[in-house]
Amino acid sequence: MDDDILTIEEVAKYLRVSERTVYDWAQKGEIPSGKIGTVWRFKKSEIERWVNDRLSSGRSTTPVSQINMHSVLAPERVIFLAGTRKHEALAALADNLATAVQVKSKNELLSEIVRREELMSTAIGRGIAIPHVRLSSVTDLVVSVGISKQPIQDFNAFDDELVQLLFMIAAAYNQHAYYLQTLSYFSTKLKSLDLRTGLLQAATPQAAYELLMAQDK
């Protein structure tokens, strides 16, 4: 099967919802899909765009302004990245995120981040990627930010813009709503060209951290 065509099971795993939910969405026409014979199939690029559109729309049960950056991000979890390949960037950011007390297994974090990225790119356009997972080995939602002065070449964003800003989110498995709210928060905030430019021009990780904290004021 073409790697760009996904099954209901693969879409359900990517979205962290039940297969029945994906089936119902497909039946109601709420998610891009089509039938090959009697089975539902999904184009990877269309699902990615659908997810990005929903995240960027700011749909959430809690206003994104209620996400407290200070509670999910610490100064030591903002880093500058070296290299121009996706796997290097993900590994470096996972290493950093795993230093948080909320993350109990660095190996599981990295393997699940990579597995999800292989299924579908987490690049959301505008030079941003938000790799994210929910895991039983994570006790509470936590974020690490990576800034790459050199564009990362192989994220395959739908808008073809090379990624330089990465926001890695790890949440406990039972934090589905908060997890989606946090994704929406970053997707919304990072629409600001001034913020993206400021982060890329930051002289130090501390300066980038302070710029992000200023968004909560």
Check residue 64 and give its pLDDT.
Answer: 45
pLDDT in tens, 42-64: 888 888 888 877 766 544 444 44
Check residue 59 and give its pLDDT.
Answer: 47
Tokens for 120? 């579908």
Half-sphere CA count of 171, side-chain side, radius 13 A:
19
Q: How far apart are alpha carbons 181 and 73 in whole angstroms?
A: 15
**Angle at Cα 12 formed by Cα 9 and Cα 14, nearest 5°?**
110
Tokens for 100? 């948080």
Tokens for 32? 């891009």
Average pLDDT over residues 37-42: 83
Nearest to 95, CA basis, from 86, 105, 85: 105
Average pLDDT over residues 127-136: 92
List the chain domain ranges: 5-56, 64-214
Higher per-residue confidence, 156 vs 165: 165
Which stretches does DSSP call E strand in 52-162? 78-81, 123-125, 128-129, 132-135, 142-152
Check residue 56 and give its pLDDT.
Answer: 61
- The enclosing H or E element of 10 equals helix 8-15
Check residue 144 and give its pLDDT.
Answer: 97
Query: Could you confirm whether domain 64-214 is CATH 3.20.20.70?
Result: no
Q: How far apart are alpha carbons 6 and 47 in whole angstroms?
A: 9
- State yes or no: pLDDT of 197 exceeds 70: yes
Check residue 57 and give its pLDDT.
Answer: 55
| Identity of the residue numbered 207 | A
Higher per-residue confidence, 86 vs 178: 86
- The enclosing H or E element of 34 equals strand 34-36
Q: How far apart are alpha carbons 196 and 216 in whole angstroms?
A: 15
Banded pLDDT at 66 (limits 50, 70, 90): low
> 26-30, 103-107, 126-130, 189-193: which has the minimum mean pLDDT?
26-30
- State yes or no: pLDDT of 79 exceeds 80: yes
pLDDT in tens, 162-180: 999 999 999 998 887 788 8
Q: Give 184-190's long-range contacts (Cβ < 8 A, gap of 24+).
A: 184/55, 184/58, 184/59, 184/60, 184/64, 185/64, 185/67, 186/130, 187/52, 187/55, 187/56, 187/58, 187/124, 187/130, 188/56, 188/58, 188/64, 189/64, 189/215, 190/126, 190/128, 190/165
